[in-house]
Amino acid sequence: MQTAPPTNPLQEGLSAQRTPEPCVVVIFGATGDLTHRKLVPALYNLAHEGQLPQSFAIVGFARRPKTHDQFRAELRDAVAHSSRFQPINPAVWESLAQAIFYHQSEFGDAQGYQKLNAFLQKLDAERGTAGHRLFYLATAPTEFIGIIEQLGANGLIHSQHAPTASQRIIVEKPFGHSLSTAEELNQALAGAFDERQIFRIDHYLGKETVQNIAALRFANEIFEPLWNQKYVDHIQITVAESLGVEGRGSYYDGSGALRDMVQNHMMQLLSLVAMEPPTTLDGPAIHDEKVKVLRAIRPMTPEQVQQFTVRGQYARGSMAGQAVPAYREEKNVSPDSRTETFVALKLFIENWRWFGVPFYLRHGKRLPKGVAEIAVQFKAPPAVLFGAESTTPLQPNALVMRIQPDEGIAIRMNAKVPGNALNLQPVKMDFRYGGSFGAHSPEAYERLLHDAIIGDSTLFTRRDEVERSWQIVDAIIEGWNSAPAPFPYESGIWGPPEADKFIERDGREWRRP
């Protein structure tokens, strides 16, 4: 039997099959935790899959002195620990290792960038990387603007040496601390790079289920007609973590749950689930639709903040039978901290499709389990037939997109229990990536690094998206400034009881994923 030829071979956007061009990835902060746990294992995985360019190199930039070989040995351990391919394949590693180099310098030292420039040009001559660069800012956010300015001032962008080569930059989270700091960072980026060269990372967008939201909605005819205020009662987006702040107290205490998770990851999930069908699957078309959703969310007034949000902070409790400390007892956290470790929000998207449909967002640390999902809860069917007869109340349909763990999609529907009585029970149709496709999904950073290497920004966030979501979040933070402290909740439960009351007032309840 003949198979049909692919209809869209080399298209950018959400489709696959793209050929990477030569490239040097320069990682600022190359001895840090992110580089070790995520970035270099992801690059190794790409090498394992044969998805790196032929002409390729990695240059690590950090301040401690070390030789290329010492750096390679550290990264080998990191890959052996964190790659999804175990054990490490010596041939793949050796081939990658000879393309890895270390550059020692201080972020603030102009001479260090000039030396880097000369070193990169030498690599171009030796390895055929032709001036193409991907700069990765894997450093503390306070360093971002300084590095961007040094890159511009020292001829590493738009260089004379290779005028037609691409220079791109990936910026890690957090992207700003407020609208004004995000604007400042965007301004610095715009002073050195064109928007098409800027890749603001949100690793949630690299997750398979998140990319599948568009496929589920727009490659299936059965869902889209129901995806609106006529049939959807409400949508719940949950990102629950069982972990506490895990040694990140000094960062987290100045940030909190809303900035750390809602402004970026959860707003991205919300915009993908709520957006209109884009005209094409390419980056700009998708960004245009996502930002329209964010613009349709009106920033809350201080009164609405009291009505539509709940904050919590974890107290002592027990996780998997182990006693755990309160948030205020964590290292580098102020003993009278008012930082929230739990947040629940109700947002409305004021457009034709979603008018009157609440979007409930819930995120917290030290909750009973680590899970992320989007649940579309449909309206209840009229209770005239089965609803009136059944001994158990009729459950409305729900479509649940599980992002982690166990990525997949489930639909809850009602079915008759076998027997003479007319009893109905909810049953689940469940699709699991692992079971259906038999392979592990690539890590989010793999997909995102690959996309940045080939210059596809579809799964990154655009300037206007970031700024609009900060506007929404800033309004909430302003409302909280004149509100009482977050409600305490015992570690190991689903947030403060006030969060339950908050949704129960609307006649609804939180899902227990």
The catalytic site residues sit at 265
Q: Which amino acid is at 211?
A: Q
Smallest separation, CB 47 to ligand NAP (Å): 21
Q: How far is the CB of 119 from ligand NAP (least distance, A)?
A: 16
Residue 185 or residue 293: which is nearer to ligand NAP going by CB?
A: 185
Cis peptide before 358 (omega within 30 of 0): no
The C-alpha atoms of residue 231 and residue 238 are separated, in whole angstroms, by 21
**Closer residue to ligand NAP, CB minimum distance, 244 or 495:** 244
Q: Which residue has the tokens 């949508």?
A: 235
Rounded to whole angstroms, what are the CA distances from 64 to 27, 31, 103, 112?
14, 9, 9, 13
Sign of CA dihedral 27, 29, 35, 39: negative
CA distances for 491 relative to 316, 342, 366, 487, 504, angstroms: 6, 11, 5, 12, 22
Whole-number minimum distance, CB 376 to ligand NAP, in Å? 28
Diameter over CA atoms, the chain:
84
Q: Which helix (H) or strand (E) holds 375?
A: strand 371-378
Are 290 and 277 a contacting pair, CB within 8 Å?
no
- Token digits for 438? 């038999």
The residue (of 251 and 348) whose beta carbon lies closer to ligand NAP is: 251
Smallest separation (angstroms) from ligand NAP to the CB of 171: 9
From the CB of 27, what's the least distance to ligand NAP, in Å?
8
SS3 label, residue 444: helix
Task: Provide the Cα torsion 256, 257, 262, 265; round to 10°.
Answer: 100
Residues lying near ligand NAP in the complex (CB under 6 A): 29-35, 37, 62-64, 106-107, 138-141, 172-174
Smallest gap from Cβ 61 to ligand NAP, in A, equals: 7
| Residue 119 or 431 with smaller CB distance to ligand NAP | 119
Both tokens of 400, joined, read: 């649940």
> Residue with CB nearest ligand NAP?
32
For residues 358 and 370, give the distance between their C-alpha atoms in angstroms, rounded to a whole number.
Answer: 24
Burial label for 421, CB within 10 Å (0-12, 13-18, 19+), is exposed
| E-only strand ranges, 392-461 | 398-404, 408-416, 424-432
